[in-house]
A and B are shown apart, each in its own frame.
Chain A
Amino acid sequence: MTEHMTGAEVLLQALKEQGVEVIFGYPGGAVLPIYDALFQQDDIRHILVRHEQAAVHAAEGYARSTGKVGVVLVTSGPGATNAVTGLCDALLDSIPVVCFSGQVPTHLIGNDAFQEADTTGITRQATKHNYLVRKGEDLARVVHEAFQVARSGRPGPVLVDLPKDIMIGKAPYQPAPNTPHRSYRPRTEPDADLVAQAVHLMKRAKKPLFYTGGGVINAGPEASHLLRELVHLSGFPITNTLMGLGSYPGNDPQFIGMLGMHGTYEANLAMHDCDLMINIGARFDDRVTGRINAFSPHSTKIHVDIDPSNINKNVKVDLPIVGDAAKTLGAMLAAWRADSHEPNGEALARWWTQIGKWRDVDCLSYEQDPSPAAIIKPQYAIQRLYEATRAFEASTGRETYITTEVGQHQMWAAQYFRFDQPNRWMTSGGLGTMGYGLPAAQGVQVAHPDALVIDIAGEASILMNIQEMGTLCQYRLPVKVFILNNQYMGMVRQWQDLLHGGRRSESYSAALPDFVKLAESFHAVGLRATNVGELDDVIAQMIASPKAVIADIMVDQAENCFPMIPSGAAHNEMIMGPGKEARVARVTDEGRMLV
């Protein structure tokens, strides 16, 4: 049997052995042998996207909502180059994806053949690792290795470039090895002494703060469970990064909100004033730290990360611990229980009193005119959507998954939607890819056919991958697109107003389509709310519909995202929303250079 398999059959056999159930892809000349093999089997499902970038985002959505590796198949040349943005997105957000790209036959490589691109060259810096398979006997090994690399250590995208002749020719099959990789062996077990030192510091802290990120989500649901336990046991406050939302319940009293550029007042001031920071699986991103030399200036810093290159990259830390978040949290819990020293309850109580005062500022409050004819505030739209989904979950037992595009709507979603579980929140954090949300939502819906999957979008971002409405229709994926339509690239405009003298260069969304008709033309349902009176009804109709829906929510054009730490400012120099005590930071020239 083995000798009679073609390369394409070997590829599919290896995918089956890796537990792959679904591939997001788009055919073309160089991958025709693979599509032919796909056609002749029933184990692996193929979802035909409308653009290769969307295939990668869909695989990301699939991966982030399941914890499995997402799989992509694209053709050579433009197929592969279109996938690059998605790969880069997965790299920056540490999402396990394996992308198979077609390549011209080996004898034509380097000849500028039709649809030839140097795919491994182009994607070298956009992937965790990539391969060009030059010999049939390497094929099975490389495919298995690609999955091993994608999911182990700090996860990430891996690309495998497959010349057409290798797919057509015969190739031997080898099962997945159960040995570690020969050269890539990331450390996952934390050093016990360092963990004990961390707990020693935690027990003696007066103003401690947990700061947790996507690493906790990537370490699996067990990590979130252990984090909950440790935070409850310690009584410390906790803040999440954008990527970490859901790793700790958003409605828990010890949760003080997201931190960073659009984080809460209490989270940012707590970060500024804390005396012990316990960073688990976050990477001191510039959106979180603000001005680096003013970032959390008085704290002793513990940093747990599976990737040693994240340690001391942006911020010098005092106690680095390399390890998997779940394993380290487990070790910390054990060490906490073993250490008989009592935490400083009095100091902690004072710390909570201080945090309570910051909370009283109520930084996320906004004024919504309740009359039915009033203009909808975008914050109110998210809040009503959140409440409606909570009611929906309670009454049906079905789960809600949220994806977003990139911009103001994304920040409002992060601020006003609360996540109680990991893997429910999919957003492009590192790369900030407009057009991420719709394809990511389709990947989530493929993985969770019965779930309520909502892409919270802006009217500008959604147009970047709007063609995926066709995919939703073809596979009857009932994704809901909830557009906060303010007719501006709102975040661009907010920065122009703040930093560039209000010159709104090219940030107006001119010539918008009629989103209701657009939805209908893709055989989906189109809804629109133009005032407060219509909002709840549109949300209810959207959730109740068995079909894909675009809900076009016309919101207040003037609204901006607050609080905001302007670029180059410190955490205690936040700009607050209208009507709140403001200490307005002046943006320096240096700050204007930062993005």
Chain B
Amino acid sequence: MPDMPQNRDKNLRQATISVLVENEAGVLARVIGLFSGRGYNIDSLTVAPVDVTGRQSRINLVTTGTEMVIEQIKAQLDRLVPVYRVSDLSTGPHISRELALIKVIGTGVERAEALRLADAFRARVIDATTESFVFELTGATDKLDAFLALMRPLGLAEVSRTGVAAIARGVGLI
């Protein structure tokens, strides 16, 4: 075996991890406490009950770290008592979506341009006044980011984003 310098890998990658948990009090605090206590990054986190009985919730996490850290995060999540399953969706084909509500305030040419771009991005107008729009946009994180960048000079005033929901493609389950 070759010499093995420790922690040699400094390459960061982003991982999308789904965690199926028992829907009990404190379970989200356990997951967040794990990340803050061990110094891991959370880029995005969503949680909601996902089965008919309401006993199980799904947490979707987006995090950034070296391969060693991401392996650690998965192992640390998996050993939490109320955790059923941990799946690193980013190791295979998967779909990530988030939803944003975007308020743009403006009049005249800028307002018209905002509406035109929203149409190009297939954002829906869900509220409008003579000087504002609220757009609803669903898509991958980079699509939302791109739309927001375009809105910024056109009167972008406020954003509310859900964070990432993700699922594997095909028949594979978490």
Give chain B nearest CB distance to A507 CB in angstroms. 30
Distance of A43 Cα from B87 Cα, bound (Å) = 46
5 intermolecular pairs with C-beta atoms under 8 Å apart: A154-B79, A299-B1, A301-B4, A309-B78, A312-B72
A124 within 8 A of B: yes
**CB within 8 Å of A: which B67-89 residues:** 68, 71-72, 75-76, 78-84
Indicate if A297 sits at the interface (CB-CB under 8 A). yes
Report the Cα distance A314→B37, complex, angstroms. 16
Please indicate the chain A residues that have their CB under 8 angstroms from the CB of B21 in the complex: 183
A320 to chain B, nearest CB (A): 10
B127 at the interface (CB under 8 A from A): no
Chain B residues with Cβ under 8 A from A181's Cβ?
A: 81
B7 and A316 within 8 A (CB): yes
Q: Which residues of B contact A121 (CB under 8 A)?
A: 26, 29
B170 touches A (CB below 8 Å)? no
Residues of A within 8 A of B71 (CB): 312
Top 9 nearest A-B pairs (CB, nearest first) are A309-B75, A129-B81, A300-B1, A184-B81, A308-B75, A183-B84, A292-B6, A309-B76, A293-B6
CB distance from A152 to the nearest CB of B (A): 10
- CB <8 Å contact, A309 and B22: no
Tell me whether A197 is interfacial, beta carbon within 8 Å.
no
Query: Which chain B residues have a beta carbon within 8 Å of chain A's beta carbons?
Result: 1, 3-7, 21-22, 25-26, 29-30, 33, 37, 68, 71-72, 75-76, 78-84
**Chain A residues bordering chain B, tally (CB within 8 A):** 35
Partner of B5, one of A293, A311, A314: A293
- A311:B6 contact, CB within 8 angstroms: no
Residues on A with C-beta less than 8 A from B6 are 292-293, 295, 314-316
Q: Closest CB-CB distance, B35 to chain A, in whole Å?
A: 11
Complex: A280 Cα to B1 Cα, angstroms? 20
Query: Is A17 in the interface zone, CB < 8 Å from B?
Result: no
With contact pairs A292-B7, A312-B72 given, residues A318 and B1 touching in the complex (Cβ less than 8 Å):
yes
Query: Which residues of chain A (63-83) have a CB below 8 Å from chain B?
Result: none
A316 in contact with B4 (CB, 8 Å): yes
Contact partners of A293 in chain B: CB under 8 A: 5-7
**Contact indicator A124/B33 (Cβ below 8 Å):** yes
Closest partner residue, chain A, to B22 (CB atom): A183
Instruction: Give the residue name and chain of the B residue nearest to A276 (CB).
Output: B1
Cβ of A341 < 8 Å from any Cβ of B?
no
Given the known interface contacts A125-B37, A132-B25, the answer about A312 and B68 at a Cβ–Cβ threshold of 8 Å is yes
Cβ of B44 to closest chain A Cβ, rounded Å: 22
| Cβ A186 vs Cβ B3 within 8 A | no
A413 to chain B, nearest CB (A): 31
A120 at interface by CB-CB < 8 Å: yes
Given contacts A124-B26, A183-B22, A312-B72, contact A298 B79 (CB under 8 A): no
B-side contacts of A186, CB under 8 Å = 79
Inter-chain CA distance A46–B76, complex, in Å, is 36
| A124 pairs with B5, CB closer than 8 A | no
Min distance, Cβ A304 to any Cβ of chain B, angstroms: 15
Interface residues of A in 305-338 (CB under 8 A from B): 307-309, 311-316, 318
Mark each residue of chain A from 266 to 298: 1 if its CB lies under 8 Å from any CB of chain B, else 0. Answer: 000000000000000000000000001101011
The answer to whether B33 and A309 have CB atoms under 8 Å apart is no
Report the bound CA distance from A313 to B75 in whole Å.
10
Give the complex CA separation of A434 and B68 in angstroms.
Answer: 33
Q: Which residues of A contact B75 (CB under 8 A)?
A: 307-309, 311, 313
A149 interface residue per 8 A CB criterion: yes
Q: Which residues on B sit within 8 Å (CB–CB) of A207? A: none
* Distance A121 CA – B33 CA, assembled complex (angstroms): 10
The answer to the question of A480 belonging to the interface, with a C-beta cut-off of 8 Å to chain B, is: no
Determine which residue in A124, A130, A301 has the highest number of CB atoms from chain B within 10 A of its CB, and name it.
A124
Give the complex CA separation of A183 and B82 in angstroms: 6
Nearest Cβ on chain A to B72's Cβ, whole angstroms: 6
CB-based nearest A residue for B75? A309
**Is there a chain B Cβ closer than 8 Å to A128's Cβ?**
yes
The answer to whether A107 has its CB under 8 Å from any CB of chain B is no
User: Does A182 sit at the interface, judged by CB under 8 A?
Assistant: yes
Known: A182-B84, A295-B6. 18 other contacts (CB 8 A): A124-B33, A128-B81, A181-B81, A182-B22, A183-B22, A183-B81, A184-B81, A184-B83, A292-B7, A293-B5, A297-B4, A300-B1, A309-B72, A312-B71, A312-B72, A316-B4, A316-B68, A318-B4
